[in-house]
Amino acid sequence: MVGRVLLFLAATQVLPCARPYVPATVLVYDYAGLDATARDQMAATAAEVLGRAGVRTGWAFCNAGQPDACAEQLAPTHFLLRIVRKAPRGRAGLEDAFGVSLNGDGAAYATLFADEVFEIARLVGVPRGRLLGYAAAHEIGHLLLGPDAHSRTGLMRGVWDRADFNAMNCRWLAFRPAEAERLRQEITRRGTVLAAAKTAP
């Protein structure tokens, strides 16, 4: 009888919990000429990381066969992601960076530097598309959490180390719970702004 009670309790503890997903769209402009494998792995990785934080993303590759998906007017829940080969010369602080985000008046987009990402991926043994995906999720995190959102642990660390790269290979590296909550709140706020704009006379 005790065994049956314990079995019942164990069964009730593994039921899935509902997650309050919020929707967002990532519009990708690939100026680095990524191959399909790296491009698809980047999108899948970033979507998985953001999904674990409660953000369900749709992805469109604007200059790689999906121009119609990017022709509509941008919404507050759309995020632009540019991929270029190298960081611009003469920009202090970008020499070893994987990417940068800009979130100001009239502009909100993230840029990834493919050559730097791929070189580190080769050195640390992380598939390059996967590392590019983690970098994309990190920069999208900045677009939602702000430029000073670096943390001491997790995906939003300012500098990743060997333990972080190992976590990427195991698909463990993630936003911290408080960061995930803020991501959802900010996207929800932007969605509310969009809805209000559509219903305004």
CATH number of the domain bearing residue 98? 3.40.390.10
pLDDT for position 8? 43
- Whole-number Å distance between alpha carbons of 149 and 140: 11
Gap between the Cα atoms of 156 and 101, Å rounded: 13
Is 12 among the domain residues?
no
Q: Tell me the torsion sign for CA atoms 175, 29, 101, 26.
A: negative
Give the structural domain span for 140.
Answer: 20-192
Which strand (E) or helix (H) includes residue 57? Answer: strand 55-61
Neighbours of 167 (CB within 10 A): 18
188 in a structural domain: yes
The stretches in the chain having pLDDT less than 50 are: 1-15, 92
Using alpha carbons only, how large is the chain's radius of gyration in Å?
19
pLDDT digits (tens, 9 = 90+) for 142-172: 999 988 899 999 999 999 999 999 999 999 9
What is the number of structural domains in the chain? 1
Question: Does 6 fall in a domain?
Answer: no
pTM as predicted: 0.84
- What would the pLDDT profile of 179-193 be if each residue is shown by its tens digit? 999 999 999 998 886
pLDDT of residue 155: 97
In this structure, is residue 2 part of a structural domain? no
Residue 138 in domain: yes
Which one, of 123, 125, 91, 122, lies nearest residue 111 by Cα?
91
